[in-house]
Amino acid sequence: MPSQRHYSPADRLLMQADAALRTLLPFSGQPSRPSPALLKTEAELSESEARHVAGLMRINHTGEVCAQALYQGQALTARLPQVRQAMEQAADEEIDHLAWCEQRIRQLGSHTSVLNPIFYGLSFGIGASAGLISDRISLGFVAATEDQVCKHLDDHLGQLPAGDEKSRAILEQMRDDEAQHSTAAIEAGGLRFPAPVKFGMSLVSKVMTKATYRI
């Protein structure tokens, strides 16, 4: 049975810096799966429709930036090796979402949010703090965050123009993946957060969505 490699704190910091650059630099994340939009026909959207869809996809892209940072921060401070590995695996899976959203944003003639570095830093700090408290809190935070993401995706799916099958395919696959992440976090021992905590998280989420819709 192969031995598991142990990384020093310096190694882990360098890995976190590499993950941050791959998340924030344009087209630096390489997806492991092709985009669900690949085989869908491009719809003829009006200028206002394309601008609105780009805003929605920009919100989702920033949400994936936050997810990357959250998972990386939790992986850095997780106590149990299996929890750390789960966080790192989840971060890898989120790279697909990050790349798909960015591809769609560019197809719509728009750009990712200039606020991404700020939200990455804030989310990384939250993830690392949760990991320092306990792995159970950390996993619970993942579940609660993914539940919030699923609600956003459902809302955005309802706002898409009827003919925009490319954006719809991406968001539907993302919703399925995020729901699986939430379930896995609870099954791994995550704490189910009470309603007041989830409400507070939803308020923070609203700040992010309003800020990144246009910039």
Q: Report whether pLDDT(5) > 80.
A: no
Buried b (16+ CB within 10 A) or exposed e, 45-69: beeebbebbbbbbbbbbbbbbbbbb
What pLDDT band is residue 17 in, cutting at 50, 70 and 90?
low
Which residue type occupies 186? I
pLDDT digits (tens, 9 = 90+) for 142-182: 899 999 999 999 999 999 999 999 999 999 999 999 999 89
Q: Report whether pLDDT(54) > 80.
A: yes
Q: What is the structure's pLDDT at 82?
A: 76
Q: What is the structure's pLDDT at 9?
A: 62
Cβ-contact 104, 167 below 8 angstroms: yes
Pick the CATH number of 66-212 from 1.25.10, 3.40.109, 1.20.1260, 2.60.40: 1.20.1260
Q: How far apart are CA 180 and CA 146, in angstroms?
A: 9
Tokens 């990050």 -> residue: 98
Dihedral angle at the C-alpha atoms of 198, 148, 74, 207, nearest 10 degrees? -80
Q: Which of the 8 DSSP states describes residue 80?
A: S
Cβ-contact 138, 152 below 8 angstroms: no
Q: What is the structure's pLDDT at 215?
A: 92
Give the mean model confidence (pLDDT) for residues 73-96. 78
What pLDDT band is residue 1 in, cutting at 50, 70 and 90?
very low
Mean pLDDT of the chain: 87
The two most distant CA atoms of the chain are separated, in Å, by 58
Q: What is the structure's pLDDT at 103?
A: 96
Q: What is the structure's pLDDT at 2?
A: 45
Closest CA to 99 of 61, 146, 156, 150: 61
Return the number of other C-beta atoms located less than 10 Å from residue 125's C-beta. 13
- Residue 13 CB contacts under 8 Å (≥ 6 apart), including other chains: 76
Give the mean model confidence (pLDDT) for residues 49-59. 97
Q: What is the structure's pLDDT at 86?
A: 73
What pLDDT band is residue 107 in, cutting at 50, 70 and 90?
very high
Cβ-contact 64, 97 below 8 angstroms: yes
Cβ-contact 65, 98 below 8 angstroms: yes
Q: What angle do CA 19, 208, 136 make, to 5 degrees?
A: 60
pLDDT digits (tens, 9 = 90+) for 183-212: 988 988 889 998 888 888 888 888 999 999
Q: What is the structure's pLDDT at 6?
A: 63
Q: Report whether pLDDT(79) > 80.
A: no
Q: What is the structure's pLDDT at 165?
A: 97
